[in-house]
Structure 1
Amino acid sequence: MRITQGTFSYLPDLSDAQITKQLQYAIDKGWAVGIEVTDDPHPRNTYWEMFGLPMFDLRDAAGILLEIHNSRKTFPDHYIRVTAFDSTHQVESVVLSFIVNRPKEEPGFRLVRIEEPGRTLRYSIESYAVVARPEGARY
């Protein structure tokens, strides 16, 4: 199963040249770029760990790409995504995010069905990785 989160999630993985073009686009727009890492890509897990500080004043995409390479070396079996934050008034939000690294094996999710009183059914999704292994040892 391929995790689909953020922009470009249904496309094949981006090459470094394509990532550089997206980074330069974000820089040209004046957005702050950050790199985030997780081993739990659950769709409701929106708070990934930051890899370093957000890069507010960088004007060259090569510097951010270097940090992406460093994050890949540090966390080769984690999900790594790039986020671009627009700080302009009335936006102040992440406006672009895409995954730049994935583990070799993506175990995916399962649908959990819970039957409750009154013939009520509740559904949730659960990561196979989270169920099988503790944090830090999921991939």
Structure 2
Amino acid sequence: MTVQAYKVTKKYETFSYLPQMTPDQVRRQIAYAISQGWNPAVEHTEKGAAATSNFWYMWKLPLFGEQSVDAVLAELDACHREFPDHVVRFLAYDNYTQSQGTAFVVYR
């Protein structure tokens, strides 16, 4: 019987326990959030211990009413270009429940 070593890696969101999403999968998740009427937003934070805390920096204001997946992807890319050493995540706010509908890391 072989014992497998467990690698400790940072887990930021629920999707962190799955293999890294492909660009198409990220696009489909964003499209789903928009189709639900949720407001997209982009956040970033430093890598390391700060990324597991509750504080993330907001990149601009939420994209209220945004219907274009490409516009959201462009904001994610712009944030990543501005802060290449930061963790960047997508999130979407649900107006009805007044909470986050979804959140996941796009750039680690």
With 8-17 and 70-79 compared, the bigger mean Cα shift is at 8-17
Q: 1:8 aligned to 2:15?
A: yes
Kept after mapping to 2: 8 A contact 1:85/1:94: yes
TM-score, normalised to structure 2's length?
0.84
Deviation per CA, 1:63-118, whole angstroms, max 9, x where unpaired?
Answer: 00011111111111111111111011xx110121000111xxxxxxxxxxxxxxxx
- Map of 1:14-33 to 2, 5 A cutoff? 14-33=21-40
Unaligned regions of 5+ residues in structure 2, if any?
1-7
Q: 1:37 aligned to 2:37?
A: no
* Alpha-carbon distance in structure 1 between the residues aligned to 2:22 and 2:83: 18
Give the secondary-structure state (helix, strand or coil) at the position aligned to 2:44. strand
From 95, 100, 104, give the equivalent of 2:106.
100
Larger radius of gyration: 1
Instruction: Report 1 or 2 for greater relative contact order, CA contacts < 8 Å, sequence distance ≥ 6.
Output: 2
TM-score, normalised to structure 1's length?
0.66
Partner of 2:71: 63
Partner of 1:120: none
Give the CA RMSD over aligned residues: 1.1
Measure how far apart 1:12 and its partner are.
1.9
The runs of at least 4 aligned residues of structure 1 exceeding 6 Å deviation read none
